Amino acid sequence: MTEVRAAPRAVDAAWAAGVASACLLLLALHIDSTGPSELLAVALTVGACAPLALRRTLPALAAIASLALGIALALLGYGGAAYVVALLLVVHAAIVSDREQAVVLGLLTSAATMALAIRESDDQVLLAAFAGGVAGIVPALFGDAIRNERGRAQAAHELARRVEERRDRDVERAVTEERLRIARDVHDVTGHHLSAISLQAAGASRTTEDPIARAALARIHEATAAALGQTRHALGILKQTGPAELSPPPRLEHVERLLEPAREAGLTVDVEVRGERRALPDAVELCAYRVLQEALTNVVRHARASRVVVTTAYLPRNLVVSVEDDGIGSDTDGGAPEPPAGGHGIPGMRERAALAGGRLEVGPTAPHGWRVRADLPLGEVA
């Protein structure tokens, strides 16, 4: 960090040395002797150029110092190049300073140039004063104009950035609304028809004695149930407001990673698995994982609990997952304050469970605590 900041100062110091050398060379062309006044002129020339090294850190002070030494040098009859350096510093200071400092610099420069013009004029003093005053204020006006133009350019750039951000938000909102509309339409139309087909196939298989027909109807029932589950899974992805995950969906075998934040928060975590672990439909497994994830997050953030029990029950036709803590519970349906994110919290878990064809139960436990329980069917139509 020090080297990065030191580099500009080193460059400015090099510029000051180089400009001073050039001004001294020009001064040498006008010096015929080496008397006290000539030595003073050399010192004033170096002094008028030295503030170049401070143009970044103290721009206004550097301009005033260079201007004062340049005036003194001009009074000796050796103004020239050193005074031009002072005027350039005035321009720079007006660019990087505010309007008030630019006005002060302009008035000082105008007064100094006016005084020098009057001193050098033998007649027509008023014309010389006017010309000197105008010439002196030009550098400050020029620098102020550049600063204003830069400010307008920055404002235009900021406005364009905000317009672009607003356009992106509008496009994202429109896309989200369209995705939700499509999800509702598919759920209302396709989901309804698939459910009807599955139910009718299941009912028809009970009314026929033909083994071939019953087998065919059973396959229709299984296929439509699987299709309905995948449709619900796809709708869950479609209704996500953020970008879709490109990594493989999490599974219940990865639930251990969800327990780490609770343990790091000092909670005692008990895990219970009932029934025989087996392969589950992707939609059901993802829903169960997300319910456990959100419920555990709420426990860590809001419950003020000391113990939490995570249960996974593999039933013949259902998967049941639950998270139960011994914390403070809640006065309203939904536990403690919801995390500030759309689609999450209790409403988000209910929606996920419904999309998977199941249901979510949330409520207090005796004597105190809170339980979140999701009951999800395995390939059956709810």
pLDDT in tens, 324-380: 999 875 443 444 444 333 334 788 788 888 888 889 999 998 888 899 999 999 864
Q: Which pLDDT score is estimated for 362?
A: 93
Residue 132 Rama label (left phi>0; alpha psi -120 to 50; beta) = alpha
Q: Which pLDDT score is estimated for 167?
A: 84
Q: 252-377: what fold?
A: Heat Shock Protein 90 (3.30.565)
**35-94, pLDDT tens digit by residue?**
677 777 777 777 777 777 777 777 777 777 777 777 777 767 666 666 677 677 777 777
**212-269, pLDDT tens digit by residue?**
887 888 788 777 777 776 676 666 666 665 554 445 667 888 888 889 888 888 889 9
User: How would you classify the pairing of strands 359-364 and 318-325?
Assistant: unpaired
Main-chain phi, psi angles of 380, to 5 degrees: -105, 155
Range 288-292 average pLDDT: 91
> Which of 103-112, 137-146, 180-189, 251-260 shows the highest mean pLDDT?
251-260
**Which of the four pLDDT bands, split at 50, 70 and 90, describes residue 3?**
very low
Under DSSP, is residue 379 helix (H, G, I), strand (E, B) or coil? Answer: coil
- H/E element holding 310? strand 307-314
Q: Which pLDDT score is estimated for 57?
A: 75
User: How would you classify the pairing of strands 318-325 and 307-314?
Assistant: antiparallel
Alpha-carbon span 73 to 83, nearest angstrom:
8
Determine the length of the chain: 382
- What pTM was computed for the model? 0.39
Q: Which pLDDT score is estimated for 133?
A: 64
Q: How many helices (H) and strands (E) does the chain have?
A: 11, 5
Domain locations in the chain?
Answer: 252-377
Would the pLDDT of 188 be above 50? Answer: yes
Q: Which pLDDT score is estimated for 132?
A: 60
Q: Which pLDDT score is estimated for 307?
A: 92
